[in-house]
Chain A
C-alpha cells in the first residue's frame, strides 16, 4: 500500500504546486494518475520515487516512511517516457548495471538478466546497444530493467507516449499482462484518458495539483463528482450546459434523442447541426445550440447540415453540477421545448 499524506510541494522559486495532497494506492492494483499537462501527476510520481523533494508531508510505502530515503532504497522501479536507457551500455549491461549495486553476485546478475530478457522477448538483443533498437524494443528494455529489481511498486511515467499508435495498443496489453503476472502495484501516468480507462483498476483524475476524483473507471465515467471529471473523462467528454442560475447540466453524447420519446421527462435543447461524420451505424454530430454552446452527439438518425433539431435527454441520463462545479441533485425545472 502506498500512501501519500498531506503532501505539500513548493519549488525554490516560491511556487506551491500542491498542498494538502493525499492519496492511498491499493496494493497490487494498476492505478492510473490522469490529467492534463501540468496537473501535477508527474511531480507526484517523482515524489513517490524520491527524485523530487517533498516540502511537507509523508510518503509511506508498505508501512515504511520513505520520505527521506534515497530513490534506490524505496523498493520501487521506474519506467520513463524517453526510456532513459544508458546509451553507452549494451542491453544486458543496462540491466545488470543496477543489479550489481543491489548486491547480487556476478552469476546472479547474469541469471536475472537472462530471465528478464526472456520475459520481454529480447534475448537475442542482449549485446546490442540501445541506439540500434526501435522505440518499442527500447521500452521493453526499460521494462526489463525495472522488473529485474523485483520492486514492490512499478512507477510508469507516460511510457507509451513516444510510440506510434499501433505499437501503443500492443504495449498496453503487454503491460496489463505483466501486471497480472507480476502481481505488483503499478502506478501509471498518462494524459490520455482512454488509456487510463482501459488500463486502470483505479483512476485518480488530477487537475492543478488536486485530485478531482478517485475511483474505478466505471465510477468515474458514470458517476463524475465534478464538472472537470465529467468533461475530461469519456470520448467525447460529457456535454455541459450552463444554466441561468450558474449551475450546469451534463449529458453524455450517446444518451440523446432527436425525436421525443414516449412519456418523456427530461431536458430539451434546440440547435443546429454544424458538423457531421458518418461512421457506419453511428453518426458523430456537433450541434450548435441556440445558447451558443457546442455539443457532441452520437446518434443513429441521419440529419443534414444546418438542419434544426431538438435534443431530448431523459431525466435519468442527466447530471447536475452546482455553481462550484460539484455534483448535486438534478433539479425539478429543466429546460423545455421552445
Chain B
C-alpha cells in the first residue's frame, strides 16, 4: 500500500479533524465529568463563585443522601414494573400481530395493516389530553395499568418486527405445521428465535423508551404512587427560595441515568441499530 504523503493539504485535514474531535469530546464528556465532580462536593464548595473544578475530598455520602431524599427505591421499583410489564405485554400483543400480517392472508389485510400503523403518523404528544380523559373515565390515573396498557400496542414495534418476519422462509413454518405445532409454538419456538436480533432490538428500544419516559408519566399520574424514575428528580429540586443543593441533585441525576448508561455500554451496537432503522436500507 502506498504511503500517503504528508502534503500541506493533508496536514490541514488532520488538524481540522483533530480540532473537531477535541471540541466534541469536550462538549460531551466535560459536562458529565463536571456533574460527577459536583456530585462529590460539599454544599460549601458547590456554592463557590467562581466554582472549583474538583472537590477537596469526595463526599460519597451525597449519594446516600440523594437516594433517601429522592425515595429512589420506590421510583426504581415502579420503573422496573412499568418497563418490564410493557415489554411482556408487547410480546402478547405486537408479536402475534406482526406474525399475522407477515405470514397470513385474510380479507381487509391491507386496511388493517394501515390501521395498526396509525400511531406512526400521529405522534401521541398531540392527543395526550384525550388519552388523559379516557384514562380518567376508566379510573386508570395513578395506576400501573394506566402507564402500561396504552403502550403495549406500539406501531413501531409492530412495523419493525413485521419487516423482519416477512423475510423468514415460509417453508420452515410449513415444516412446523407438519410437526403439529400450535400457533403458539410457531410464534414462540420458531418465528421469535429466528428473528432474535430484531426482537432484541425491539425490546431494547421499548425498554429505553419506557424507562426514560417523563412525558406520559407526568400526564397520567397525579401522585407519587406509581411514578417512575424520571419524575424522582423533582424531589431534589429546590422549592422556592431554598439554597441550591446542586451536589445532591447531580448525585441523584447520576443515579438516574446510570442504568441507561450501563445498558448502553453493553448494547451499543444494538441500540445504535434500532435508532438507525427506518432511515437507511
Q: Do A and B bind each other?
A: yes
Chain A positions within 8 Å of B, measured between CB atoms, are 12, 49-51, 70-73, 76-78, 80-82, 84-88, 97-98, 101-102, 145
- In the A-B complex, the 10 residue pairs with the smallest Cβ-Cβ separation, listed nearest first, are A98-B179, A72-B180, A84-B171, A101-B180, A84-B175, A88-B193, A71-B177, A80-B171, A71-B178, A84-B172
Q: Is there contact, CB below 8 Å, between B177 and A101?
A: no
Chain B positions within 8 Å of A, measured between CB atoms, are 105, 169, 171-172, 174-181, 185, 189-190, 193-194, 196
Smallest beta-carbon distance A91→chain B, Å: 14
Q: Is there contact, CB below 8 Å, between B175 and A72?
A: no
Inter-chain contacts of A49 with B (CB < 8 A) = 174, 178
Q: Is there contact, CB below 8 Å, between A101 and B181?
A: yes
Smallest beta-carbon distance A2→chain B, Å: 16
Q: What would be 24 A-B contacts, judged by CB atoms less than 8 Å apart?
A: A51-B177, A51-B178, A72-B178, A72-B179, A72-B180, A72-B181, A76-B178, A78-B174, A80-B171, A80-B174, A81-B171, A84-B169, A84-B171, A84-B172, A85-B175, A86-B194, A88-B194, A97-B189, A98-B178, A98-B180, A98-B181, A101-B180, A101-B185, A102-B180
Q: Is there contact, CB below 8 Å, between A82 and B179?
A: no
Q: Is there contact, CB below 8 Å, between A72 and B177?
A: yes
Smallest beta-carbon distance B99→chain A, Å: 16
Out of B174, B180, B185, B189, which one reaches A84, CB within 8 Å?
B174
Smallest beta-carbon distance B183→chain A, Å: 11
| Chief secondary structure at chain A's binding surface | loop
Chain A residue, CB-CB nearest to B189: A97
Inter-chain contacts of A88 with B (CB < 8 A) = 193-194, 196
Q: Is there contact, CB below 8 Å, between B189 and A78?
A: no
Q: Is there contact, CB below 8 Å, between B194 and A70?
A: no
Q: Is there contact, CB below 8 Å, between B180 and A77?
A: no
Give A80 to B179 CA distance when docked, in angstroms: 13
Give A132 to B178 CA distance when docked, in angstroms: 24
Q: Is there contact, CB below 8 Å, between B179 and A97?
A: yes
Chain A residue, CB-CB nearest to B182: A101
Smallest beta-carbon distance A174→chain B, Å: 20
Smallest beta-carbon distance B172→chain A, Å: 5
Smallest beta-carbon distance A169→chain B, Å: 24
Smallest beta-carbon distance A81→chain B, Å: 8
Q: Is there contact, CB below 8 Å, between A78 and B178?
A: yes
Give A78 to B175 CA distance when docked, in angstroms: 8
Give A84 to B175 CA distance when docked, in angstroms: 6
Give A145 to B178 CA distance when docked, in angstroms: 11
Smallest beta-carbon distance B182→chain A, Å: 8
Inter-chain contacts of A76 with B (CB < 8 A) = 178
Give A77 to B175 CA distance when docked, in angstroms: 9
Q: Is there contact, CB below 8 Å, between B177 and A70?
A: yes
Known A-B contacts A78-B174, A84-B169; the reply to A101 vs B194 at CB < 8 A is no
Q: Is there contact, CB below 8 Å, between B177 and A86?
A: no
Inter-chain contacts of B190 with A (CB < 8 A) = 86
Known A-B contacts A82-B169, A87-B194, A88-B193; the reply to A101 vs B175 at CB < 8 A is no
Give A12 to B176 CA distance when docked, in angstroms: 24
Inter-chain contacts of A72 with B (CB < 8 A) = 177-181
Q: Is there contact, CB below 8 Å, between B169 and A51?
A: no
Inter-chain contacts of A81 with B (CB < 8 A) = 171
Inter-chain contacts of B196 with A (CB < 8 A) = 88
